[in-house]
Amino acid sequence: MRIKRWHVWLGVLISAAFLYLAFREVDFAQVWHYLQTAKWAWVLLGLGIYFIGVYLRSLRWQRLLNPVKRLPIKRLFPVVCIGYMGNNVYPARAGEVLRSILLKQKDNVDISASLATIVVERLFDAITILGLVLLNLGQFSRRAGLEWVSRVAVIGGIVFGLILLVFLAMVFLPRRAEAFFGWFIDHLLPGKARPPAKNIINKFILGLGALKSPLEALKVLLLSCLIWLAEAGLYWGVMRALNLNLSFIQLLLVEGVVNLVLLIPAAPGGLGTFDAACKAMLELFGVSADLALGFALLLRVALWVPITLLGAILFFREGFSLSTDLSALQNQYKAQEASTAAPAAMSSDHEKTKESL
């Protein structure tokens, strides 16, 4: 896959800075001792819970894809695993693009439509992660001795609520939301930028098609909560493997903050950002720097190696290689979709003209 060179170097520089923060002021012999004496049976138990979460991600994606095309879980689960592998190996979270390409090749699902459902997935993930953090910010502020954090949480909660209202409007009032955003696009963007901007909004609303009832939205939100609880199960397994004593609520806060930090662009797999954030959060709860780094490293291995190996095996079975230019494939499929959509639009306009006559 071809990635812009400056993207790679920016990620490397950011990762290097965070790796310095993660590895400074630690006794590496002590870190190694903690890793050697870890009880791996607990890690394996945590991995079992984690893969339940991967299955739940497939189930959630199936619900979002239903208005576009109904696909079985046995087809979506391997694609989700390959997407994890892509995010862990390629820069710029290219695993999401890879998922859309696979659905196009195997099941003829439009690239734009599948990407829209993936954007909706990420929105629900963001809602869940922000909930994990905001619900526990009081504990965080008391531990850190930062009372201003509580005030920031209130402001963040208000902003988050406004974003959620816009999101709900797009779910339950799609045509009005489309007209609302269209007005802003027509009045704020230059002429050439308007059609692609409107296309993005239209595809995003299409991706929300599975959520046209409050019940469906509630089911997707519930699945999102279960997904992140399952991932927290791996945090719990690693904690037990290292004989740490944190509450599950504290682990949820660690998970939420770590995943927010992962939004910072870095090398694939959140190299550095994940480790520094994880270590810092555990130190906040009174864990020594050596043990905190041991936790971060063991958790990284558990989160990265199994799903990446499984995804890589499935990836090569699909006929891809690491040199495959995913961007070129994506552009090729989008061009095909545009060429087939144009005659359909012209035919529709012709029929409307005939009816008016």
For residues 208 and 79, give the distance between their C-alpha atoms in angstroms, rounded to a whole number.
Answer: 20
What does the pLDDT average to over 265-273?
87
For residues 3 and 8, give the distance between their C-alpha atoms in angstroms, rounded to a whole number.
Answer: 7
Whole-number pLDDT of residue 116: 81
Whole-number pLDDT of residue 209: 66
Tokens standing for residue 215: 């019940």
Tens-digit pLDDT profile for residues 274-286: 999 999 999 988 8
pLDDT of 210 over the 70 cut: no
- Interior angle at CA 87, CA 81 and CA 89, nearest 5: 100
Higher pLDDT, 149 or 275: 275
For residues 283 and 292, give the distance between their C-alpha atoms in angstroms, rounded to a whole number.
Answer: 6
Tens-digit pLDDT profile for residues 38-93: 999 999 999 999 999 999 999 999 999 988 889 999 999 999 999 999 889 887 77
Structural domain boundaries in the chain: 5-338
- Candidate from 181-195, 224-238, 282-296, 320-334 with smallest mean pLDDT: 320-334
Higher pLDDT, 27 or 156: 27
Residue carrying the six token digits 């790796």 = 19
What does the pLDDT average to over 112-123?
84
| In contact, 98 and 326? CB cutoff 8 Å | yes
* List of residues 6+ apart from 140 with CB closer than 8 A: 133, 146, 149, 253, 257, 284
Task: From residue 175, give the alpha-carbon distance in Å to each of 168, 172, 184, 209, 220.
Answer: 13, 9, 15, 12, 22
- Candidate from 1-10, 51-60, 184-193, 248-257 with smallest mean pLDDT: 1-10
For residues 298 and 148, give the distance between their C-alpha atoms in angstroms, rounded to a whole number.
Answer: 33
